[in-house]
Structure 1
Amino acid sequence: MAPESDGWSGMGWDWTDVAEVRRRLDRGADPEHWGGGRPLHRAAAFGSPEVVAELADRVSDVDATQHGVTALWEAVVSRKPDNARALAAAGADPWRPSPGGWSPGRLSLAGPTPDLFLVPDGEYLTDAERTVAQEAHRLITALGTFYYDGTGLACVAGIDAAEAVRRMEAVPVADEVIAELLEDVYRYDAAESLRIVGVTSVPGGCVVTQPWGYAPHMPGVLTRLSTGTVCYGMYANPKSGNQGSIVRDGTVEGSDLHPGGGPDPYDTPEQILVSYLYQGNPVAYCCAFAGLRPTDARGVVGPPDIWVQLPRRDYWNH
């Protein structure tokens, strides 16, 4: 909770009520400081255009930074175009360079509102960046919206379902066993259900999925699948959020990642673009990282090309 002295105690996440914000400001709330950072940055991401305009009129520098980025950057990344317009009208600079080589304005060219700002000469997306943005739009649209909480998956580049099954040393599961499992997965023996995964070939590689558990994300599964290639694994943990891992040729390169969580201003330019494009779409992010180009969500939600059972082994210690 913010300290009483800054005047923002109890504001929480909702910064949409301009009357409340104006009342606090008139009573001495600090427009430059709030317990969680800068009020303008908070409003840019979680507020209304009216609140943004009110705060922008009261701060000394509308382009002041927090964690290396401006409030306008926060508005663009949060996909709040009306807030971004309010900041630009207050004098914020859309083309101010930000960490990673992007400006808020150039990043917006890759998103859903490329006409957000008047674009000066010399500001444009490269052909490669445009291709990445177009594929993101296609992939997110192709996958659509579906419930994935509790799902584990591994997106594997360059191999098909048959090769993935071979690498995991898995065996096909009888139709009647799958029918019984899918009828009520939570009444099925948990130790056995966690050994059953679906595998589907997609353009660019394959997807290993388990809509009820984390098995495809276990290190011992990912290291076997990644021989000579790369995979991105994810478990959509209902308790703690999406947990991602990168495994390349049997070596874990990254763990405890947050696919779909949005860009970090200290990422590389390529990482910032991809994270921005796939923000809020973790499954699409995983597919894109591995270079998969599915045309629908079947590889994740099923029915897969084949259901298989993993052999008994310690998958947590590879």
Structure 2
Amino acid sequence: MGTTVSDNEWVGGAGAWSDTNLAEIQERLADGFDPGQRLFWLRSTPLHQAAQEGAVKVIELLLASGAEVDPADSYGATPLWEAVRHGQDDAVRLLLAAGADPWRPCIAGRSPGLQALFTELADLFAHLPGAPRVSPRLRELQETVDEMMFSYEDYNEGFCIAFVGEVAEDEVIRRLGADPGLCPPVEAGALWEAEHASPAELLRVASPPGGGVVLIQTEGVLPVHDGVARRVTTGGGVLAGAFPLAGTSVDIWRDGFSIARPSVHEQLSDDSLFELWMCRFGDCGAHPSVSMERILALMTLLTATYVTEEWLWSAPMRLVPVELRSDGQGR
């Protein structure tokens, strides 16, 4: 072979299973590479990887070389599932034509076809035999979440922010260790100067019009610090925090415990929160929403707290001093 890279090194390389690498794949297969083998580091098969890439020529080659069309990876996902979640319509068509089962449950009882029915790939599945009927209530719920998600499209704040549900503003301040009476609202235009004049580390705390409580730190990570989240939710409550503009994950706490830290593009699992599915987590291209919109939508859905740019920069907020003990826990 015209390469010294071993199969184990090569299979996980960037673009290894793309159509641009077709010649090398053909060469590897001719030298005995098993087209259906498990790729240990990727926890899947070559067909899964090609489906993610939308590499139709590679998919055709692998199938012609004996690869099964519907193997499950370590998550339970099939190549068709991967083609759907990556929005690869040509790969979807090819896999369906090759006999992939659109209604096979993969993760959390969901099939590739069901997932597709809520995306722009819906027309490829809606009229296939066995297509499930999506209830109007579920369809309406997804449309409502999508609408809320897209309402965040103009969000442009790079700071750390957390939404808190089921806890009143004064109680949040008390749980942070401060006296609400000593934390009066500060007008928006005076917040920055007041923060920088204080020797203590401060959190901005305020309640948007629709309910809930918002924690903000323009230069720091307190809203997602384990110590803050633990205090704010101990005794009841839920907190969801993130760097929505630059980050890809959300810290979720309930009743004093961290319950999840999902990342936008990671594969979901049987145990994933229902809200993650509704906010398109795990989707890598089938839906046009972006990470920031999904993160903020999830934070809103979990806490019933919604913010707008106008409110963030015009509302008076309370500056709450936060002193965290060095107990070796959390960030």
- Are 2:209 and 1:208 equivalent residues in the alignment? no
- Are 2:259 and 1:254 equivalent residues in the alignment? yes
Are the equivalent residues in 2 in contact too, given 1:77–1:262 (CA < 8 A)?
no
Relative to 1, partners in 2 of residues 1:290 and 1:122: Cα closer, same or farther, differing over 3 Å?
Answer: same
Equivalent position SS for 1:201: coil
- Quick one: which of 94, 104, 117 aligns to 1:96? 104
User: Aligned runs of 1:295-314 on 2, under 5 Å?
Assistant: 296-297=308-309, 302-303=312-313, 305-314=315-324
Deviation at 1:269, TM superposition (A): 7.8
Residues in 2 aligned to 1:80 and 1:134: alpha-carbon distance in whole angstroms = 22
CA deviation map 1:119-176 (0-9, x unaligned): 4356022345324311221121101154555x32222224565665566445234656
- Are 2:124 and 1:120 equivalent residues in the alignment? no
Q: CA RMSD in A?
A: 3.8
Residues in 1 aligned to 2:154 and 2:134: alpha-carbon distance in whole angstroms = 28
Task: Give 1:274's aligned amino acid.
Answer: M
Deviation at 1:54, TM superposition (A): 3.5
Q: How many residues align?
A: 303
Residues in 2 aligned to 1:72 and 1:217: alpha-carbon distance in whole angstroms = 36
Residues in 2 aligned to 1:4 and 1:190: alpha-carbon distance in whole angstroms = 58
- Are 2:144 and 1:140 equivalent residues in the alignment? no
Task: Give 1:42's aligned amino acid.
Answer: Q
- Are 2:274 and 1:270 equivalent residues in the alignment? yes
- Quick one: which of 214, 219, 224 aligns to 1:217? 224
Residues in 1 aligned to 2:12 and 2:233: alpha-carbon distance in whole angstroms = 47
Are the equivalent residues in 2 in contact too, given 1:75–1:84 (CA < 8 A)?
yes
Task: Give 1:308's aligned amino acid.
Answer: R
Relative to 1, partners in 2 of residues 1:161 and 1:70: Cα closer, same or farther, differing over 3 Å?
Answer: same
Task: Give 2:162's aligned amino acid.
Answer: A
CA deviation map 1:1-49 (0-9, x unaligned): xx94538717623257425224422442442234533111112223434
Task: Write 1 or 2 for the structure with the bigger share of strand.
Answer: 1
Are the equivalent residues in 1 in contact too, given 2:202–2:217 (CA < 8 A)?
no
- Quick one: which of 302, 305, 310 aligns to 1:289? 302
Equivalent pairs: percent with the same residue?
22
Any runs of at least 4 consecutive aligned residues in structure 1 with deviations exceeding 6 A, and if so which?
237-240
- Quick one: which of 130, 143, 146 aligns to 2:139? 130
Deviation at 1:272, TM superposition (A): 6.2
Residues in 1 aligned to 2:224 and 2:70: alpha-carbon distance in whole angstroms = 41
Equivalent position SS for 1:258: coil
Task: Give 1:99's aligned amino acid.
Answer: I
Which residue of structure 1 aligns with residue 287 of structure 2?
A: none
Extract unaligned runs of 5+ from structure 1. 183-187
Task: Give 1:306's aligned amino acid.
Answer: P
Deviation at 1:212, TM superposition (A): 3.2
CA deviation map 1:36-69 (0-9, x unaligned): 3311111222343443343344343110111121
Which residue of structure 2 aligns with residue 154 of structure 1?
A: 162
Which residue of structure 1 aligns with residue 86 of structure 2?
A: 78
TM-score, scaled to structure 2: 0.73
Deviation at 1:103, TM superposition (A): 0.5
Relative to 1, partners in 2 of residues 1:144 and 1:233: Cα closer, same or farther, differing over 3 Å?
Answer: same
Are the equivalent residues in 2 in contact too, given 1:200–1:304 (CA < 8 A)?
no
Which residue of structure 2 aligns with residue 195 of structure 1?
A: 202
Are the equivalent residues in 1 in contact too, given 2:15–2:21 (CA < 8 A)?
no
Extract unaligned runs of 5+ from structure 2. 284-290
Which residue of structure 1 aligns with residue 25 of structure 2?
A: 24
Task: Give 1:245's aligned amino acid.
Answer: I
TM-score, scaled to structure 1: 0.76
Task: Give 2:7's aligned amino acid.
Answer: D
Relative to 1, partners in 2 of residues 1:5 and 1:286: Cα closer, same or farther, differing over 3 Å?
Answer: same
Deviation at 1:297, TM superposition (A): 4.8
